[in-house]
Amino acid sequence: MTGTHTRSREAGFTLLEVLAALALASLILVSLNLAMRSIGMGVDRTRQTLGQQQAIAAAVDLFGRDVAQIAKIRRPGAEDLEGYIFDGQPDEIVYVLREDKGTDSPGLYFVRLSLRDGDGGSELVRERAPMPFDGAALGAPEWRDPVVLLSGPYDIGFAYRAQRSGIREWSSRWSVERTMPEQIRLTIIDTKTGELRVPGFVQSLAIDAEAECAAETKPPCGDAAPGEQSQ
């Protein structure tokens, strides 16, 4: 009998051993749960980052395409040194584009890129308005078609320079009336980290963008009338 009892104890588990095994299994399950939660949070952060990068890339692409096509137009009735239709501020740019495709009313349009406060940060907004003429004077733009290009915890700014004209340093305002800027820089900084989300994106204006487009009867912006040359 003694030998049989001893073999039964050796073949089975004590209550203490069972409890220890259950505790170990619980620790393993908790660790796996924490690991899966961390992986899920990492995936969510990655998806969010990718979404932000795609939004930034789309905004930068539209900014670049707009700036590359800015029409270099003198103000109606202005002499050579009296200025162009362009206004550059650190938080706003107003310029002129000729839009023929994708619009019901082809022609010259004012376009405004501006910054405004939004939910959780700043918003980069694009608006446009038909370019109204009243004789030799320009009417005030009636801004419409607002589109939010970028929204988030960003510090966004514009800067301008014209190296060929001797203005080699970047300026946050463009008040030079005798010439247009040759390059415009877009800066996007993440306010949470203080790091650049876009490493100083610079877009040049078209060299042949100047035209005498004071009225719709004139040639399209960028084209010179017969016998004339764009400067």
C-alpha–C-alpha distance, residues 169 and 162, integer Å: 8
Is the pLDDT confidence value at 222 over 50? no
Domain housing 231? 12-231
Q: Is residue 213 part of a domain?
A: yes
Q: Is residue 98 part of a domain?
A: yes
Q: Is residue 168 part of a domain?
A: yes
C-alpha–C-alpha distance, residues 209 and 223, integer Å: 8
Alpha carbon 4 to chain centroid, angstroms:
82
CA distances from 55 to 50, 88, 113, 135, 151 (A): 9, 24, 16, 41, 8
Residue 202 confidence (pLDDT):
93
The two tokens of residue 61 are 């692409």
C-alpha–C-alpha distance, residues 108 and 106, integer Å: 7
Residue 81 confidence (pLDDT):
46
Computed over every residue of the chain, the mean pLDDT equals: 75
Considering all CA atoms of the chain, what is the largest pairwise distance in Å, rounded to the nearest integer? 124
Residue 228 confidence (pLDDT):
34
Answering whether pTM is above 0.75, one says: no
Q: Is residue 1 part of a domain?
A: no
Q: Is residue 2 part of a domain?
A: no
Contacts 24+ apart (CB under 8 A), 176-180: 177/81, 177/82, 177/83, 177/84, 178/80, 178/81, 178/83, 179/84, 180/70, 180/72, 180/84, 180/86, 180/205, 180/209, 180/210
Q: pLDDT for 149-203, tens place per residue?
A: 999 899 999 999 998 888 899 999 997 767 889 999 999 999 888 888 877 799 9
CB 175 within 8 A of CB 35: no
Specify the number of domains making up the chain. Answer: 1
Q: pLDDT for 98-136, tens place per residue?
A: 877 666 677 889 999 999 987 778 899 999 998 876 545
Q: Is residue 103 part of a domain?
A: yes
Residue 141 is given by DSSP the state P
